[in-house]
Structure 1
């Protein structure tokens, strides 16, 4: 069971005859004492709002009213409408109005009280049979209870799958394509293990978290600090004086907010486009005032200089399922306010 070298690490070993695992073997449980290097990791859990609730009209109206009321309280307290204030108001009101997003789906969501009672009955019959193995009636009761538990679990699974298929059909009938394909992918893909391995330049496998982060840092450093091209592109000369450009109008900023696409990943501030689009006129006025301030002062918040690098698979080695850094594509997730601000710059450049 264990090597003689480590026999002192195993103690308090017991056999549990009542463990119900449908096997003729007896479960053995023991305590294993191993000395490992302790390392405390501090993780910060971010609470995200349930954005999908904004699809309902009444929820949108309630969210906009709550944002307006919160800004009204801040104006009475004479708090400035900078980006930090806007970010905190949107984040807090979104959590209060929409609730936290719970993405974790229970794996065996079909297991209910009926399945639990069948499993407990099978366990009681098995214990009685273990105490008197020569009794044929107890053995028959165990066989019947085992078949009942198996058929109950199979029936519950089939009913749950049918319910999920009906939900997919309802999403298709109501035009909810995103939810439809999300459920199809979840049912089709099943459990997908996450591989936290990568190869370095020499082709050796890297397992440690710090080593993987160091390799990604080295990769992006080489990617973004390349030598200048041999044949550079000629710079375009812009007509007029760029310093005399007027600030974007309120209509242009409002139009940029309205054109933000839904169902897109949020940036480092966890503020999705829907939270700004459906925040009401009070939030839009604060965004417009912020844009004018940034345009005049030419200083933007430090949060806008940060982003999330999302890595995507392009190819993988079939033999070892271990990726190299060159086998990935990436894109950067930035804040929605920065995208709104940049969209006005793009429209100005397009007009020139």
Structure 2
């Protein structure tokens, strides 16, 4: 979600990128301006409200004129003051403000990391670095904010570094589940890998067929699964994180080179960033063109299953989006009970409308002339003519089906 001008480049906006789990927990969100976005989430023990902001800089205001800044901070103050007091309140974003180096005064804000893990912005000159991105939390939940750290290795082609905020609630201890690794079965499409994998596990299936009553089935099954898993680890490897299919190998190489050049932030990095963006745009354009060709080919062959598959790939998997429910005055309702009451009020007004003041006199309408329709039973010639027209309009898929089953078609007719 983003708040700001609806353009393809998404410039001068604030946004919030959610995981699938976070998207399901989203209760409401409001795009306040191109500098402010607020979202509320349903957590296990408490509600979480996040305010994403982008503060104006001195270069965006005239010397001595602070009206732009004052308007932004007044609006931010109004947004924060309307957040429910029992929520965890996080204000994150580019504040365009420095705190100084007074550790005694700003110790909670400056943190305990080295400077390289606190500097969030890199100047275009490649020399100046500052800490201007911050995370604010309300005092009630201050102990739940465990850490804020900058990770310089994350490269997104911008002058800001990735700052990760770790928030942990002390209300309950959740048992962490062990991450299950999956084998990369797509490598079996390679004939060489498939042959080596089959050679490694060859003959192991015969063990299951040679079992008798005296054999320990659990021991034999454990040996068999160990052999298959070891062969899969050796030849297939583990599946990596999901990667976009439309990104070409050339673009991935440019991304890797740009990432290695990021620490310098010199002319080489800017040139690689320009080449990477251009290559990604071309990759996405080519991918869309290929999907469109496949969809058109599937539609021509009347393969509706593939048509819907291509359509789902283009639009992505749809997920339930939180609706912004407003009252009669246009204000967003954040309380769940008030939302239900608003729905009841809406349907009562929709379904229990007042009776119309004027009634319609249907006697003024003249009766239509009766149509001369032959209601006699059809004759054989009319049936043959109708079947001929029906057969001429059949789809290519239906004609192929009838041609493969001519006896069945004649029997039915």
TM-score by length of 1: 0.31
Q: Greater relative contact order (Cα 8 A, min sep 6): structure 1 or 2? A: 1
Q: Specify which structure has the higher proportion of helix.
A: 1
Higher strand share goes to which structure?
A: 2
